[in-house]
Amino acid sequence: MKAVVNIQLKEGVLDPQGKAVHHALSSLHFDEVKDVRVGKQIILQLDDEDEQKASNRVKEMCEELLANTVIENYEIEIVK
């Protein structure tokens, strides 16, 4: 079983990496881009067959290590 965790900064949190990418796109004449937010994706290969248990364990991982829940949101997708 595989878990895909998408992590992004919460609304209102400054994203300097996103601003840098936006500036670079603008300098390359991609003017239709209005804003950029950069996040991260973590893919975990799990040794578990119970989808609910796997989801709960990945949530624990996010809360303890993978995401800074003060400034980041995360979404978990379990893929069989």
| Strand 40-45 relative to strand 2-9, pairing | antiparallel
Placement of tokens 């209005």 in the chain: 34
pTM to 2 decimal places = 0.89
| Mean pLDDT taken over the chain | 97
pLDDT on residue 48: 86
Instruction: Please tell me what DSSP assigns to residue 22.
Output: H
CATH classification of the domain holding 34: 3.30.1280.10
Q: CA of 17: how far to CAs of 21, 35, 50, 60, in Å? A: 6, 11, 37, 27
pLDDT digits (tens, 9 = 90+) for 28-50: 999 999 999 999 999 999 998 89
**Spans of the chain, pLDDT less than 50:** none
Domain that holds residue 9: 2-79
Q: How many domains does the chain have?
A: 1
